[in-house]
Structure 1
């Protein structure tokens, strides 16, 4: 889909089989359907009522999938104007309550006033190599609930450095992508 307009579908929950319009933008790389299916199988017990941050939203497929499956709300961070507009349009068309779009880059967003999230999707454009900086920003900035879950997507052979308090829960590979789910576990005082 990279650089081509199209549609992707929501695979589960109340919005199942709904289609998301995807603008044809260079570097836009929606998470493949089979990866989303695996991820949301992993997340099934923790989605209901979760506060979700889709930090490098792009199409917003991950955050919208979470809303479809019962998340209490989702904040979508997307700096590219056309992608942010398409995301707002998709949320409105689907009547996806609880979704808000912040049209700002991820690093700028993390410098704002923090609020803790239960689940964060961290899937920045691969070419920008932002995983480490964004992971540290999430951890140090107060953006994560005490036992938050963080989903991280990277190139197949790249396991980005993450904060020491994040422990790997599950990981997989599909095509050229590595996907991993981390659990934040603060040390006992």
Structure 2
């Protein structure tokens, strides 16, 4: 997978062969970062369910200040570390942890949060609750949520839809906290 733009443009991110891993497509990634182009510089980002960490790495490439990536699968986590080391990225933190466990603790708000959980899981509504309950968001936090079209998700009233894109059976929504 290639980095689309920024200081690491065209550099390759190697991805583990894992049936559970479904990286955000280049089309969806390009669209998302076009939406965020005025907000990404100097932002603090959280990439839950990182997988390839393509969203976190793309954010760093486009001058995000810092990114935290959460990945529970140890082999995928090790692969992300290799990619980060190959790119010599210093302002990214990769944590080998289940996103739910990490979000259960009280945190400090992020500017941008990427939520791209495995499609087969039903945990997204719980994750949304944890984000609000445990201080991971603030006014004007952007939240990108990627999921299957047919999946019903509870969106809090203070999340305002900013942008939306559908590619095949996948829908990407960008919300802003009001």
Normalised by the length of structure 1, the TM-score is 0.91
2:159 maps to 1:166: yes
Deviates further, 10-19 or 159-168: 159-168
Structure 1 unaligned runs (5+)? 1-7
Deviation at 1:112, TM superposition (A): 2.5
Deviates further, 41-50 or 103-112: 103-112
Residue aligning to 1:71:
64
- Checking the alignment, whether the CA contact within 8 Å between 2:68 and 2:94 is kept in structure 1 is yes
Q: Distance in 2 between matches of 1:94 and 1:134?
A: 30
One of 70, 73, 84 as aligned partner of 2:77:
84
Asked which structure has the greater RCO (Cα within 8 Å, sep 6+), the reply is 2
Structure 2 unaligned runs (5+)? none
Deviates further, 127-136 or 50-59: 127-136
Equivalent residues, number: 178
Normalised by the length of structure 2, the TM-score is 0.97
Runs of 4+ in 1 over 3 A off after TM superposition: none
2:137 maps to 1:151: no
2:14 maps to 1:21: yes
Which one has a larger percent strand, Structure 1 or Structure 2? 1
Residue aligning to 1:142:
135
- Checking the alignment, whether the CA contact within 8 Å between 1:51 and 1:74 is kept in structure 2 is yes
Deviation at 1:159, TM superposition (A): 4.8
For each residue in 1:107-151, what CA deviation from the matched residue of structure 2 results, as whole angstroms up to 9, or x when unmatched? Answer: 100122411100000010010122111111111110113210000
* SS of equivalent to 1:120: strand
CA RMSD of aligned residues (A): 1.0
Residue aligning to 1:39:
32
Q: Distance in 2 between matches of 1:29 and 1:173?
A: 16
